[in-house]
Amino acid sequence: MANVAQLSSQVTRQASQFSDMCYVDADRPQQVTDLAFRTQPHANAEPHCVVAQPQPQPRVAQPRVAQSINNSRTVCWACVEVGHVQCNCANPKPQPNATQPNVRGLEKPPDDPAYLEMTLSSKTVLSLMDSGCHVTLVPQSLVESVRGLRVKPAQHTLRAANETVITVVDEVTLPLRLDGRCIKTAAFVSPDVEELMLGLNCLRKHRCMWDFAGNKIYVDGYAAVPVAPKRLSHCRRD
């Protein structure tokens, strides 16, 4: 019985303390409010107020003010006249037409030796050392002027660097002679060339080497002196 009375007295004191904690004092509302929030269960807690923060406004691009062009100093690239630009040109220079014949210029200064003086039958022929051409080309007029050459119809299609077709009518083996030595060369016959052009097939077969410093061309191990043409020639590729 003494234990029960002691336990009852302890419960009474705790109840009195709890009553004092829940007492609302008008002079200390903030303290009571804080205490009330601490004593309330989490499930019954009042929701917190969320204050919306101001969002930054996006930057609006300002229109650029076009600067005026001083036409007195503007030069057109098309007509080379002052006062306007190329896109506003009323008198542009004519551009080269792709349908016009394309002439591969073999124009070289007179003192630029790039030819070998060879003979074909009894004719003296200037042969261009053309390392930029994969095959050897010979003018149709030269083949027709030499008797005894065996020609056969061509079955190849040649194209220039600009993809235009080069007409090939026949194939022939030329018995060229250089300083008394025979230099047999397979060539394509074309009416679009005006001179004999020794291509890579001939240069490789006869082990041609060009000594630019010594101004000599070695063919099959023998040195030959290159010469310059007396006139300028062209290879027409249209």
What are 74-98's pLDDT values in tens digits? 778 777 788 888 778 887 766 655 4
pLDDT tens, 167-202? 999 999 999 999 999 999 999 999 988 999 999 999
Domain ranges (residues) in the chain:
102-237
The CATH class for the domain spanning 102-237 reads mainly beta
Q: Average pLDDT in the 212-220 region?
A: 93
Q: Exposed (0-12), middle (13-18) or buried (19+): which is 118, by Cβ within 10 Å?
A: buried
**pLDDT: which is higher, 86 or 13:** 86
Nearest to 185 by CA among 176, 193, 194: 176
| pLDDT given at position 5 | 62
| pLDDT given at position 3 | 59
Helix (H) or strand (E) holding 103: strand 102-105
CB 107 within 8 A of CB 165: no
Question: Tokens 């022929």 correspond to what residue?
Answer: 125
Residue 125 has pLDDT above 50, yes or no: yes
Reduce the DSSP state of residue 43 to 3 states and report it. Answer: coil
| pTM (predicted TM-score) | 0.52
Q: What are phi and psi of 5, to 5 degrees?
A: -65, -40
CB neighbours of residue 202 within 10 Å: 25
Q: Average pLDDT in the 149-178 region?
A: 88
| pLDDT given at position 164 | 80
Q: Which residues contact 12 (CB under 8 A, 6 or more apart)?
A: none
Residue 208 has pLDDT above 50, yes or no: yes
